[in-house]
A and B are shown apart, each in its own frame.
Chain A
Amino acid sequence: MLSIRKSGLQTAVQDLGRTGFQRYGVIASGVMDPFAHRIANLLAGNAETSPTLEIALSGPVIEFEADHYIAICGGDLSPSLNGEPLAMWRGHFVPKGSVLSFGEPKRGARSYLAVAGSFDVPAVMDSHSTYLRAGIGGFQGRALKNGDSLKTLPISPQRLDALKNQNSQTPDWLIPPARYHEQPIVRMMPGRQYALFNEASRLRIFEETFTVSANSDRMGYRLEGPELALEKQEELISEAVAFGSVQVPADGNPIVLLADRQTTGGYPKIGQVASVDLPLISQLKPGESLKFRYISADDAQQLYIEQEQQIRQLKIAIQMKREEWT
């Protein structure tokens, strides 16, 4: 069990999202950085789909009420265990009574904490993700508060012992961390309504720098930069949007739709961020900036397939290490 001494800015249980219910208007929710979430789970010996804790910017203080095995991946929010800096992108055995805390956000905006055995929260509509606005899923449908107790599913003492031994035998083994740049170049496909934008906008979106505004959250990142406009104003018929759709409301500032996006929208979409580059955006803090670079849907699909292969290889590598140790 985990005791939440301090909740941090926004710490909530998430998984890979609520799939299959968007047609009823139920938003997908889920982690903002699926790659980091999946690797954290693999390192902790969980399924990639298990829930993790998504920790934003200013992290929580967590006391472990039993022996646990954990991994933290994603943005570097300066995690430490009992006051000692804790390496990310690897597994750690944490004895009962240990206290995990976070410091300055160094790079990136979100960390993912996976605990071996995973969190014991009920699935709602086949997902453990917290849907904050509807108050469902995750831990009681909300972000964690001071004093909460987050239960974990039991793992066998033998397995925990094995993990504990690995920990002391291989202190330096870790997964190469994802690179979160301060000014990333984000690959983007032309959006469904790209052709409706005026020529200047169609060029600017791929050339100029955009800055993440303070008015950004899990629903979407508002970007500031050159103003974008349609060739002629027109009302569009609402249609589905996706994780990474870049829509442009009448004020001309693009919004990148993220994990808590609505299912449908009526604003014109100038672009669609390639899935493999979504973590680059999700890990930006307000005030940081990015540039978009053109990619075709075919090439974006190829990148997706290659990344899935890499994750499969990592999974095998982690399993082989485990077998070596046991």
Chain B
Amino acid sequence: MDFTFSPLSEQALVIETGTIINKESEQAVRKLSSLLEKQTPDWLVEFIPAFTTVTVFYDPCQIRQAEVEQELRLLAAHLDEVEAPTPRQIEIPVCYGGDFGPDLSFVAEHNGLTEEEVIKIHTSGVYSVHMIGFAPGFPFIGGMSEKIAAPRRKSPRLRIPERTVGIAGMQTGVYPIETPGGWQLIGRTPLRLFVPEQDIPSLLRAGDEIRFTQIDEAEYREQEAKLDAEHS
């Protein structure tokens, strides 16, 4: 595979696995990540995988950038022998509409659908997590039907509660912490996407396959209380 290497800084090197987001470039990112996780060379500080890149942060006192590149090229040469981790399948229950999803009606109107139809389309898709970034545990999710796409709000909300499920353009996502943002809000999940007390503080990981399922408010309350109790 043909990767390009270029510096982000004097202590970080970017490996680009492709120039477009596709299965190949994403698989390569996942394989590189899993190799780095297993091998953890001494000079490695940390790494950040994204759609088509893995950025490797190193200790500049231990190794020169040219040597980091050499070592990473060696690693990349063996990529074909690595099996990509099997995608995990995760279900995200969502209570749609009402106070939790004040923009559900907008998304419906914008697409000439009823609210029920929007929910039906949102829950019938199989989605994949491209990457985690922007906020702790925040998944960039691909695979949404264009039938329920909706533009961002003209003026962003100052506060979007954690656990809110939204739509922006062709993307759907879940807010792990309270954040300002311009997404159209369609519902809320009782799941906690950011779990700082766990070794891996993100519920979701790049490569996960997810489905949304509909729950009512009573189920939402019950699951939320249960999950919060587990972590308090």
Chain A positions within 8 Å of B, measured between CB atoms, are: 19-27, 124-125, 133-134, 136, 189, 192, 237-242, 244-245, 262-264, 269, 272, 274-275, 297-298, 300-301, 303-305, 308
Contact = CB atoms under 8 A, between A and B. Distances in A.
Given A24-B201, A25-B133, A133-B179, A19 B46 contact: yes
A301 B65 contact: yes
Contact of A189 (B10, B33, B133): B10
Given A240-B14, A263-B134, A189 B9 contact: yes
A87 B12 CA distance: 37
Interface string B220-232: 0000000000000
A192 B10 CA distance: 12
A297 B132 contact: no
Given A25-B202, A189-B7, A275-B9, A264 B131 contact: yes
Interface string B3-14: 000111111101
A300 B9 contact: yes
Interface string B32-72: 01000000000001111111110101001100110000000
A245 B7 CA distance: 12
Nearest to A274: B10
Given A134-B136, A242-B9, A244-B9, A23 B51 contact: no
B125 interface: no
A239 B14 contact: yes
B133 A262 contact: yes
A135 to B, nearest CB: 8
B137 interface: yes
Query: Chain B: interface residue count, which band?
Result: 35 or more
Given A24-B137, A24-B202, A237 B21 contact: yes
A308 B60 CA distance: 10
Contacts of A263: 48, 133-134
Contact of A242 (B8, B51, B196): B8
B65 A298 contact: yes
Given A25-B135, A25-B138, A134 B177 contact: yes
Contacts of A262: 133-135
Interface in B150-198: 176-179, 194, 196
26 contacts: A20-B45, A20-B46, A23-B33, A24-B200, A25-B134, A25-B135, A25-B138, A26-B137, A26-B202, A27-B136, A124-B196, A125-B201, A133-B177, A134-B177, A189-B10, A192-B8, A237-B50, A239-B14, A240-B8, A241-B8, A245-B8, A245-B9, A262-B133, A264-B48, A272-B9, A303-B10
A24 B194 CA distance: 9
A25 B196 CA distance: 11
B140 interface: yes
A272 B13 CA distance: 12
Given A24-B201, A134-B194, A238 B133 contact: yes
B53 A239 contact: yes
A240 B10 contact: no
Contacts of A241: 8
B200 to A, nearest CB: 7
A308 B47 CA distance: 22
Contacts of A275: 9-11, 60
B52 to A, nearest CB: 6
Nearest to B6: A192
Given A24-B132, A133-B179, A263-B133, A238 B140 contact: yes
A134 B179 CA distance: 9
B62 to A, nearest CB: 10
B19 to A, nearest CB: 8
B203 to A, nearest CB: 10
Given A19-B46, A237-B50, A301-B65, A25 B11 contact: no
Q: Taking each of A26, A133, A239, which has the highest tally of chain B beta carbons within 10 Å of its own beta carbon?
A: A239
Contact of A237 (B51, B134, B202): B51
B136 A24 contact: yes
B230 to A, nearest CB: 18
A25 B8 contact: no
Contacts of B138: 25
A274 B53 CA distance: 22
Contacts of A300: 9-10
